Amino acid sequence: MSIAAVSLMCQENAIWLAMFVSGTPCPVLVNGKLVVGRAAVLAMRQNPELFIPDYKKNENFYNVVLSIGGDDSGEEESSVDSISDRYRTSLRGSSD
SS3 content of the chain, % helix, strand, coil (to 5): 50, 5, 40
Spatial separation of the C-alpha atoms in residues 53 and 92, rounded to whole Å: 23
Q: What pLDDT is stored for residue 94 in this prediction?
A: 60
The pLDDT of 15-44, averaged and rounded, is: 92
Spatial separation of the C-alpha atoms in residues 9 and 15, rounded to whole Å: 7
Q: Is the pLDDT of residue 15 over 90?
A: yes
What dihedral do alpha carbons 49, 28, 5, 67 form, nearest 10°?
-70
